[in-house]
A and B are shown apart, each in its own frame.
Chain A
Amino acid sequence: MGPTMRSLVLAELSKLRSLPEAAIAAVATVLLGSTIAAALAANDRNAYAGPVDAVLASVPFVQLGIILLGILSAAHEYAGGQIHTSLAAAPNRMRFLAAKSAAVALVVSFVSTLTVGAGLMVAAITRPSQSAMAASGGAVPSMLVGAVLYLALIGLLAFAVAILVRHLAPALVVMLVLVLIASPLVGAASEHARWLPDRAGGLLYLPDTDAVLSVATGAAVLLGWVVATWAAAAATFAARDA
């Protein structure tokens, strides 16, 4: 008779709440997103027509903070020997990982929502008054929901990668290279770049359209990446020594 699922999730949330690096990463993400959205909205070159566009344009930067948050949530268990204590308290590894994943999903969704909401607020305040609220340049508010969903899924992907490689720096480099480096370079050379997680998921919040993927299938591709990486992480986590 082990601990209940509810208490496991609460325990994981408590760990994340009391982890200074995670708190700093969360606050920094919100501040970074708000600053960039405000700067883009206030920019008089008019490349960003309305507050919604400014927030959406800040998402590629915000994802860096969310990725760090997802990785920290997993990597801190391995920074010392905490994983041994955690598994002594919750010996069923699959339940432990499921609870941890649920906690991380809650936290990254919360921080993503907060960042997008705060960004929208400051963008609406700093936007030059002469441009009308209606001129939102083709971006519709429902894309904001897509942006939150995209950020949450990218955060979970980062978490799964970190569980797989068990160290902060390599997980960070893998995610940053995947999202920042591979995507534009492969995109310039091959149309198959659309299957990369950030490209497929980008359809959730970018005005671009794709010849093969729609918003829903793009989101499904990103979800597929998350599920596949998580499954690989779960299989190795169950099989190997902690």
Chain B
Amino acid sequence: MRIGNYFLAEVGKSATLPAGWAGMAVALLGSLAITVLNAFAVRHAAVDGTPEMVAGTSAFEAGFAAMPIVGVVAAVVIGVTTIGSEYTADRAESGGARQITASLAAAPHRLSMFSAKALVVICFIVVAAAVAIPGNIALSQAIIGDVGTETVSTADAVGRSLGTTLYWVLMGLLAFSITALARSGVVPLIVLIANGSVVSFSLLLTLVTPLAHWLPDMAGRQLFGFPSELVVEGGLAPVPGAIVMAGWTVVMLVVSGIVFHRRDA
């Protein structure tokens, strides 16, 4: 049961990191605030008879709006802190050591440890998604109630929620692999959070070359399933996009796993 023990140890480490919880709290409370703002705007527009003031009166869309952006931040923070924390140096007067040396002394099989960490990233993100996505949609429905017009079918809603969860997981694993390669969270935090927003390097690259639609974050973005008139046109359909993004993730995980296995800690 070696893998099981590795996994439990990593769960314990990640669950006791304040940074991970802070990221999670920001994501949950942030999306909550956005959903409340959105849902009340939709409700007022519907009650006042001015639905043209908002994009639509669907409770699902109002609750879902924050998910792509805020959730991606949470996923990136979880992915980065899970491995980045191992490389943070302690204070100089207490030796300036990094946790990774103690971790590897206690758990010397590196690939098991790396896989256990990746598994922890997946579990934490799935839990965050399972709380945040249905929670925000339920909150939005509670605020908007019957005054809005639901335009999204249940099947679509489930599909988009699952697609969004998949996007978060892949994004978290990408952040995890980049942090493992760089042994620092600065670059993945900046690049991946920026790419999840409107100030996106990938989006900028699509102006230069259409090949940029094959970058992981651009390839997977149709997983959110927003109506086509609301998003930047072009790019891959949801399923091929998900496959391309998953391909990137697997390649990055394999590369960073090999590097983690072979290089001096």
Interface of A toward B, CB cutoff 8 Å: 36, 39-40, 43, 45, 47, 60-61, 64, 68, 79-82, 84, 168-170, 172-173, 176-177, 180-182, 184-186, 188-190
Contact = CB atoms under 8 A, between A and B. Distances in A.
Contacts of B96: 80
15 contacts: A39-B204, A39-B208, A64-B194, A81-B91, A82-B92, A168-B186, A169-B80, A176-B193, A177-B26, A181-B30, A182-B30, A184-B197, A188-B65, A189-B37, A189-B65
Contacts of A82: 92
B255 interface: no
B70 A181 contact: yes
B201 interface: yes
Interface in B41-88: 41, 65-66, 69-70, 73, 77, 80-81, 84
Given A64-B190, A180-B199, A185 B92 contact: no
Closest 3 CB pairs of A and B: A189-B37, A180-B197, A80-B92
B208 A173 contact: no
B184 to A, nearest CB: 9
Main secondary structure of the interface of A (DSSP, over half): helix
A190 B23 CA distance: 24
Interface of B: 19, 22-23, 26, 30, 34, 37-38, 41, 65-66, 69-70, 73, 77, 80-81, 84, 89, 91-93, 96, 185-186, 189-190, 193-194, 196-199, 201, 204, 207-208
B78 to A, nearest CB: 12
A181 B69 contact: yes
Contact of B197 (A81, A181, A186): A181
A80 B199 CA distance: 33
Contact of A176 (B37, B38, B65, B194): B194
A177 B204 contact: no
Given A61-B201, A173-B23, A190-B37, A39 B89 contact: no
B252 to A, nearest CB: 20
A173 B194 contact: no
B70 to A, nearest CB: 6
B193 A189 contact: no
Nearest to B193: A176
A184 B70 CA distance: 11
B34 A169 contact: no
B21 to A, nearest CB: 11
Contact of A60 (B81, B186, B190, B199): B199
A108 to B, nearest CB: 16
B203 to A, nearest CB: 11
